[in-house]
Structure 1
Amino acid sequence: MKQKTMFIIRILLIIIGAFITAYGLESILIPNNVSDGGVTGISIVSSTLLNLPLGILIGILNIPFVWLGYKQIGKKFAFLSIIGILSLSIFTSIMHNIPTIIEGDSLLVTVVGGVIIGFGMGLALRNGGALDGIDMLAVLLSRKLPFGTSDLILFLNSFVFILVSTVFGLKGAILSSIAYFIASKVIHIIEEGFSGSKTFKIISSNHETLITEIQTKLGRYCTYSVITASDMQTQLTEVTCLINRLEEQKLKEIINTVDPKAYIAIYETADYHVGNIKKEDVH
């Protein structure tokens, strides 16, 4: 019952995150010809060029990326992301004609807009869902290319802002990139380093089951070693696992289910090379 309650709370927080993001887009960024990055940015440009509702485009363009999330991370992540993306689509449609709260001041627009959408997206990500599919594409490409997820997100968004410049001009593209940069930093603060890969070191009395669950539900291989406690007598087993930023919440759930008393240390991982240890599809 407690798990169901927590899951419902997470859904509500993702919906709130989508509401906040939609408000930042419709009341600040879009009226000032400033875009977001990722699939949302592509949707904004497409909406302007084709004169189609932004909410519908956000929902449609994110469909293939939700499938990637399902394949790479699992059903729960895909389900929560669908809720987040649909909520963002609905809220942007509802708020389309709301009053603009900031006009003309480019610095204020980028800072306030970036903070608001960053807070909304960070809130969704912290609770296991995503509001934009470009992160999922970056995760997939990181398996094939010798680059980290964060580097690929930045690389993919560079093309988005080139596209933005064709509609909002060079100034609009520059302001959009600044707003996106600010938003990414806010997400980082909310998620405590959510913008990169992470290494989990887990000391568990049930390491065999834990490794099996991680491999089955996340498609991740782990390493483990026997260590000795400081009393020089107690033998313990330490499991090490490298994950991407979208998998953190799910890995924590796996650990809590298998061994709630496990010791966990989490490290930021600036760079890595997968070698022969590659992630498998979970479906």
Structure 2
Amino acid sequence: MNQIQEQLLAQTKHKGLSKKKLAQRIFFIILGAALMGVGIEEFLVQNNILDGGIVGVSIILSHLTGIKLGIFIFILNIPFLYIGYKQIGKTFAFSTLLGIAVLSITTILLHDVPVFTEDLLLATVFGGITLGAGVGIVIRYGGSLDGTEIMAILLDKKLPFSVGEIIMIFNVVIFTIAGFVFGWDRAMYSLLTYFIAFKTIDIVIAGLDESKSAWIISEHYKEIGDAILARLGRGVTYLNGEGAYTGDDKKVIFCVITRLEEAKLKSLVEDIDPSAFLAVAAISEVRGGRFKKKAIH
């Protein structure tokens, strides 16, 4: 969930959008919210399978009261919208309001539409994928579809738990309640849906922006380092090394890049020194220093 936290907090630094970027953001937030609505209504709700977070609470309340799901989703998220506006920023709050409004309307419109499948396993898998893709798109373009994330970010400052752990605890409580309301088999299917959606969100948000470490050994280290700075805009660190076989002193270039920049780095190194040693590895998390992922606005 660190990626989600990064995307939400990034909105506080947002200064303004061009008309093109604004239109792009609105389009993808609407698309993502509608996609989540399809996942919820056409795969999950009518098969008595839950999502986590505020949506999960809304599904339970809608089932118990008979009131439209979209109404609960919108009403229960209002307090978190206000908190998001005060604590994170108006751009994030308005993006989230748009997403939640579209999600609520979509669930209401689709409520009486026949489900795509009544097979519980298929509903779980494809519901999780559809839902996760929708949530991921909205987060990637600066909004949120569930107040749980906002609550978790704020509680993270006061509790000895990470954002991901707070959300997990909240969802475990929801799925436990679902076990009593819908039956324990549905609760287990709901938990499986949550994990599928969680991984799909990761892929949508971080899949193309995954951080990678690069280690380069070359006699032309200075030229390569300067090129990385100039052409990729990434900082580099020169490390002192020693060849175990030859005993020669070596300069090792270390830098952190995104997945999108990997091909460009390889081409850059090959152009300067085709015989250079290059190793690239995935990194699960990057903190501190001057490394900044290019935010999408």
Fold match (TM-score > 0.5): yes
4+ residue runs over 3 A deviation: 267-272
How much has 1:40 moved relative to structure 2? 0.3
Contact map agreement 1:193 1:268 (CA 8 A) in 2: no
How much has 1:166 moved relative to structure 2? 2.3
In 1, distance between residues paired with 2:78 and 2:154?
15
Q: Does 1:179 align with 2:167?
A: no
Q: Does 1:189 align with 2:203?
A: yes
In 1, distance between residues paired with 2:17 and 2:50?
40
Superposition pairs for residues 227-242 of structure 1, below 5 Å? none
How much has 1:59 moved relative to structure 2? 0.3
TM-score (structure 1 length as normaliser): 0.68
In 1, distance between residues paired with 2:130 and 2:155?
28
How much has 1:11 moved relative to structure 2? 1.1
In 1, distance between residues paired with 2:177 and 2:95?
29
Structure of higher CA gyration radius: 2
Q: Which runs of 5+ in 1 are unaligned?
A: 199-228, 239-266, 273-283
Contact map agreement 1:56 1:89 (CA 8 A) in 2: yes
Partner of 2:183, secondary structure, is helix
Superposition pairs for residues 208-223 of structure 1, below 5 Å? none
The percentage of aligned residue pairs carrying the same residue is: 43
Q: Does 1:13 align with 2:28?
A: yes
Task: Select between 162-171 and 127-136 the one with higher mean Cα deviation.
Answer: 162-171
The code of the aligned residue for 1:128 comes to: G
Superposition pairs for residues 230-269 of structure 1, below 5 Å? 268-269=284-285
TM-score (structure 2 length as normaliser): 0.65
Partner of 1:144, secondary structure, is coil
Q: Does 1:155 align with 2:169?
A: yes
Contact map agreement 1:25 1:113 (CA 8 A) in 2: yes
Contact map agreement 1:35 1:44 (CA 8 A) in 2: yes
Q: Does 1:169 align with 2:183?
A: yes
How much has 1:45 moved relative to structure 2? 0.4
Give the 3 Å change call, closer, same or farther, for CA 107–5 of structure 1 in structure 2.
same
Partner deviation per Cα, 1:189-211 (whole Å, 9 max, x = no partner): 000079xxx9xxxxxxxxxxxxx
Question: For residue 138 of structure 1, what is the aligned residue in structure 2?
Answer: 152
How much has 1:4 moved relative to structure 2? 1.9
Question: For residue 82 of structure 2, what is the aligned residue in structure 1?
Answer: 67
Cα RMSD between the aligned structures? 2.7
Q: Does 1:24 align with 2:39?
A: yes
